[in-house]
């Protein structure tokens, strides 16, 4: 029987999506399960790896049930994941030891300051393409090794294994037979040299990480292992690289912006890494066969999460969709700016001690103004990143391909186009992260012939063309830059324990 589907697992910060994708790139079955986050101290963010695995299984079963298919109908599995999130596995029991430290966690900010004061920023950037920040995995793993009793000696014996979320899911899917990661996820650890394409001994020494606990690094498209029913796990990529692939941004200069919990803007820069002097990171986009391609990335920590905060913590809205209606109730924010630096600022500012700020409030400020300011903040942050990309690459994008949950907001998409002065295109399916994982897995097993076939599957749903008064838009952006200064370095020292 011909296998008709590829299963994509998208394990994100707030939950796991599972999609069954057919040969036309259409989604035929969906499943979703929400995962919990824990905040044991200010600035700390954790999750339970066992809960992540349990919810992943729930999502998979729901997707298969909704599509009316079994494992016999599935040609391959693709995995994409929240990146940088760090955990350790007991090799003997196969279980995670303690909670995972989430990419948003700020507990290692003082260690990052120490690394900078030691003059190691340039060395780390030259090897990894990453800035020194608590965002990445290395200081998280170092913290676990130094602070969880009994872990280090076991790690040195290879009895405790390092895992990001992709590695954890591969490990569980293959019942502990495969301890591996793909090259895009490896490039996010701050332990992997993006030039030599190997774990870097100098970095391992800096962070005190035993090489024996590290996973095997494989291309993003290729067979990693098999689940019990025989389906190959054949495609793996970090969520933002998967979205770049799912948006068919295969040519240098093509840009995608994923507007989810955070916002992540990536530009394909081809087969040679380009260093940035403008606050961007250089990352591996994907590896297929022996070929590796690179991207410039701007990582924005809080985007859609700001809307979730308005809903869950302040109760200003009942659901995210309501934000568009409220934003359109007012003609502007009346000078209100919202800088959602809840966990610091990412690219291009990289300020671990910035904190969320709302400025410009008056007695006339209504919740519509606050909601609109939160949506505009997403667009302003993307503008900061795209301008840095233009300065680094010398390329002005002619189109931004937008995806993620917040990309469905028409007000935000139009405001983004207006502020950038660039067309914003939204595909028919905004689930491009999952599609990217499916495409990488399908390529590996011949489900799709090549990237040209995949590119033909990308279809535009709606585009947003720049409009409005450019001078007014420049004035709005100047106001945003002023508001940013109020949030910068708000904490002069870490307030965590």
Q: How many CB atoms lie within 10 A of CB 491?
A: 17
Q: Which helix (H) or strand (E) holds 247?
A: none
Q: Which residue has the tokens 């391909």?
A: 401
Cis amide bond preceding 348, omega within 30: yes
Q: How far apart are CA 342 and CA 254, in angstroms?
A: 30
* Average predicted confidence (pLDDT) for the chain: 93
Predicted pLDDT of residue 1: 53
What is the Cα 194 distance to its own chain's centre? 18
Strands 291-300 and 281-288: antiparallel
Query: pLDDT, tens digit, for every residue of 285-321?
Result: 999 998 999 999 998 989 999 999 999 999 999 988 8
- Over residues 446-461, the pLDDT tens digits come to 999 999 999 999 999 9
Mapped onto helix, strand or coil, the DSSP state of residue 350 is coil
Query: Which band of pLDDT confidence, cut at 50, 70 and 90, is reported for residue 60?
Result: very high
Total count of residues recorded for the chain: 497
Q: What secondary structure does DSSP assign to 86-107, as a single string?
A: BEEEETTT--B-SPEEPTT--T
Percent of the chain residues past pLDDT 70, beyond the cut: 99
The residue among 108, 138, 41 whose CA lies nearest residue 353 is 108
Q: In this predicted structure, what is the pLDDT of residue 474?
A: 93
Q: Taking residues 220-242, what's their average pLDDT?
A: 96
* Residue in this structure with the two tokens 């090489």, named with its chain if needed: 211
Q: Give the model confidence (pLDDT) of 103-147 as tens digits.
A: 889 899 999 999 999 999 999 999 999 989 898 999 999 999 999
The pLDDT, as a whole number, for residue 88 is 97
Return the residue matching tokens 């036309």: 24
Q: What is the mean pLDDT of residues 370-376?
A: 96
Is the distance from CB of 195 to CB of 129 less than 8 angstroms?
A: no
DSSP structure string for 363-430: TT--HHHHHHHHHHHHHHHHHHHHHHHHHHHS---SEEEEESGGGG-HHHHHHHHHHHTSEEEEES-S
pLDDT surpasses 90 at 228: yes
400 neighbors 386 (Cβ within 8 angstroms): yes
Cβ atoms 223, 234 nearer than 8 A: yes
Report which of residues 421 and 493 the model is more confident about. Answer: 421
Q: Is 463 helix (H, G, I), strand (E, B) or coil?
A: strand
Over range 401-414, report the average pLDDT: 91
**Exposure b/e, 416-450, CB count within 10 A at least 16 = b:** bbbbbebebbbbebbbbbbbbbbbbbbbbbebbee
Given a cut of 90, is residue 152 above it in pLDDT? yes
Confidence of residue 96 (pLDDT cuts 50, 70, 90): very high
Distance CA 300, CA 260 (A): 10
Q: How far apart are CA 287 and CA 403, in angstroms?
A: 22
Question: What pLDDT does residue 42 have?
Answer: 86
Range with the lowest mean pLDDT among 216-220, 322-326, 489-493? 489-493
CATH number for the region 5-240 comes to: 3.30.420.40
Q: pTM value?
A: 0.87
| 3-class DSSP state of 253 | coil
Number of H helices and E strands in the chain, helices first, is 16, 23
CB proximity list for 305: less than 8 A, separation 6 or greater: 261, 262, 340, 342
- As a whole number of angstroms, the distance between CA 154 and CA 152 comes to 5
How far apart, in whole angstroms, are the C-alpha atoms of residue 236 and residue 218? 9
pLDDT for residue 329: 95
Domain ranges of the chain: 5-240
How far is residue 159's CA from residue 95's CA, in Å, rounded to a whole number? 12
pLDDT at 108: 94
Instruction: Report whether 254 contacts 453 (CB < 8 A).
Output: no
How far apart are the C-alpha atoms of 425 and 33, rounded to whole Å?
29
Q: Does the structure show a pLDDT above 50 at 497?
A: no
Other residues' Cβ atoms within 10 Å of the Cβ of residue 459: 10
């Amino acid at each position: 029987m011909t296998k008709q589907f590829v299963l994509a697992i998208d394990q994100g910060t707030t939950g796991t999506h599972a999609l069954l994708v057919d040969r036309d790139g259409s989604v035929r079955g969906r499943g979703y399960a929400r995962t919990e986050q824990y905040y044991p101290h200010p600035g700390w963010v954790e999750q339970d790896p066992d809960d992540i695995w349990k919810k992943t299984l729930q999502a998979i079963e729901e997707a298969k049930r909704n599509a009316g298919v079994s494992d016999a109908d599935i040609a391959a599995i693709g995995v994409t994941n929240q990146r940088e999130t760090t955990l350790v596995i007991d090799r003997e029991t196969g279980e995670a030891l303690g909670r995972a430290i989430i990419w948003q966690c700020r507990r290692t900010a003082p260690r990052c300051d120490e690394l900078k004061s030691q003059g190691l920023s340039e060395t780390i950037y030259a090897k990894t393409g990453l800035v020194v920040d608590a965002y990445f995995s290395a200081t998280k793993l170092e913290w676990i090794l130094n602070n969880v009793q009994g872990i280090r000696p076991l790690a040195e014996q290879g009895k405790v294994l390092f895992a990001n979320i992709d590695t954890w899911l591969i490990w569980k899917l293959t019942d502990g037979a495969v301890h591996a990661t793909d090259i895009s996820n490896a490039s996010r650890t701050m332990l992997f040299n993006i030039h030599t394409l190997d774990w870097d001994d100098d970095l391992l020494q800096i962070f005190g990480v035993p090489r024996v606990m590290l996973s095997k690094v494989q291309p993003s498209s290729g067979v990693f292992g098999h689940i019990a029913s025989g389906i190959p796990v054949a495609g793996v990529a970090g969520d933002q690289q998967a979205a770049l692939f799912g948006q068919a941004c295969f040519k240098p200069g093509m840009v995608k912006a994923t507007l989810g919990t955070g916002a992540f803007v990536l530009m394909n820069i081809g087969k040679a890494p380009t260093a940035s002097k403008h606050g961007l990171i250089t990352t591996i986009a994907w590896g297929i066969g022996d070929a590796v391609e690179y991207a410039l990335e701007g990582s924005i920590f809080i985007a859609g999460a700001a809307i979730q905060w308005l809903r869950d913590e302040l109760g200003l809205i009942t659901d995210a969709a309501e934000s568009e209606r409220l934003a359109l109730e007012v003609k502007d924010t009346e000078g209100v700016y919202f800088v959602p630096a809840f966990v610091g600022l990412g690219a291009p500012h990289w300020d671990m001690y910035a904190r969320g700020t709302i400025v410009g409030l008056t007695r006339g400020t209504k919740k519509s103004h606050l909601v609109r300011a939160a949506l505009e903040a997403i667009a302003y942050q993307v503008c900061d990143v795209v301008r840095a990309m233009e300065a680094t690459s010398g390329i002005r994008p002619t189109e931004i391909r937008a995806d993620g949950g917040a990309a469905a907001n028409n007000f935000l998409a139009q405001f983004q186009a207006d502020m950038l002065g660039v067309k914003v295109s939204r595909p028919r399916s905004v689930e491009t992260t999952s599609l990217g994982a499916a495409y990488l897995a399908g390529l590996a097993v011949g489900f799709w012939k090549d990237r040209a076939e995949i590119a033909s599957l990308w279809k535009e749903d709606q585009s947003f063309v720049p409009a409005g008064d450019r001078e007014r838009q420049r004035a709005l952006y100047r106001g945003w830059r002023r508001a940013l200064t109020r949030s910068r370095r708000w904490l002069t020292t870490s307030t965590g324990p």
